[in-house]
Structure 1
Amino acid sequence: MHRKVLLLPSAFLFLAASVLSSRLAAAAWPTDPTVNVALCTAGGNQLNSRMTTDGAGGAIVTWVDNRVAGNSNIYAHHVRSDGTLDPAWPAKGLTVCLASGAQTFPAIASDGAGGAIAVWRDARGVSGDVYAQRVHGDGQIGDAVAVAPRGASQLALLPVRPNPVRGSSFGVDLTLDGTGIATLDLIDAAGRRVASRELGSLAAGSHHVTLGQGLRLRPGIYCVQLRQGGQVRVASVSVLR
């Protein structure tokens, strides 16, 4: 019997909850535990899956794939926050490594730009080595991501300090890159947007802004979400009584 890669809703929601994405509120994952999300149904065994956040409530998952007889390779797929597979990616997974020899023990981390970097043990040579590949959010591999010129501002959201906070408002330190209108949202644990600020009047560079003014926030954990030019940055903050 072939093993297939299935991503359980509970496992994914645990990952997504760690960044408290607002998309959780619109999730449409199966509620029947016998009907899960089929991430890959190719021939052969798929095993040793690992995943990382895509920065928008979804996940990029990598695994060892034996669909090519006599070989173990590395594949990946992107599952979106609503439980659907990204149509920009190959239906049965993106080929990350198809070299000779066995590729095993994959690991993966977010690249901070909607994609990920996967690494694995690789036996294409005389001895076991370690190889890596970058996977972009659009399902492409390898090509360099545009890098901001030296000295240019890059989108960033610093951890909230102090944390936890008391009261309804708190300061947020961030950097804008000037690529478009930026918004700063405060999202509760249920995925509801409870506060929002448009930062369109702010120029590229570092800023300190206040979020939550005039609100009576309930105690709990919230997500601070910064969006600009299709990029997303998140930070968490705990609110006390």
Structure 2
Amino acid sequence: MLASGAVDPAWPADGFALCAAAGDRGDPTIVADGAGGAIVTWEDPRSGTSYLYAARVTLTGSTTWTPDGVTATLLSLASAEAEPGAVRLAWYTSEGALEATLYRQEEGAAWVALATLVPDGTGRLRYVDQAVTAGRRYGYRLGVLAGADETYLGEVWLTIPSGASLSLEGLRPNPAPRDLVVAFSLAEAGEATLELLDVAGRRVIARRLAGVTAGNHVINLGAGTVLAPGMYVARLTQDGRSITRKAVVAR
């Protein structure tokens, strides 16, 4: 719509189709987007369950979001973390039977399918990408099929850090049948503390790490100590920052 109130001549007489997916749609709502365009929402049962979909249309009639509309209620990004050598991703869905394709893109390249993900018991779809290079930027998104159409959701971009970071892998293996071998990384040289706590938060083992260099390390935390089987928590602390991981002892 022009300032004069006339329809922009770039628009065809019959308008633009915001959604060409199969099936019926209902209860449409439209609001201005503040930039001369509009955001349109509607109810859409294309996946077998009715969800609220949305599309943004610009002043000239082009759509800037996912073709055929996007639904934020189907799936959303829960967390994304980049560390040297790995990206840890998690999305949330309330649909227990949902199946999604994980795509990755490097800047300047095409999207590539990495894996098929399904929710765990908490509704999270999780993935750890270890095929990454320090200093590079990667994009991730999930593709969900609705009939013959695929909708892309939960897109996120991360840059892989090049320096060492404070991290705690935990026991190797976990559960640990005997020795408590712990893998961790320090962000910088200096003093740190590695502890094992029981489920009540009581300290069972503590190791002061003095003169340890930055980078990856593996130590036997429980040498000479016999622990009762059960669940524990490993905790790594350096410069006031702590990281914890679950640890299971099996005999």
TM-score range, shorter chain: 0.3 to 0.5
Larger RCO, structure (CA 8 Å, separation 6 or more): 1
* Structure with the higher fraction of residues in strand conformation: 2
* Structure with the higher fraction of residues in helix conformation: 1
Based on CA coordinates, which of the two structures has the bigger radius of gyration?
2
TM-score between both structures, scaled by the size of structure 1:
0.40
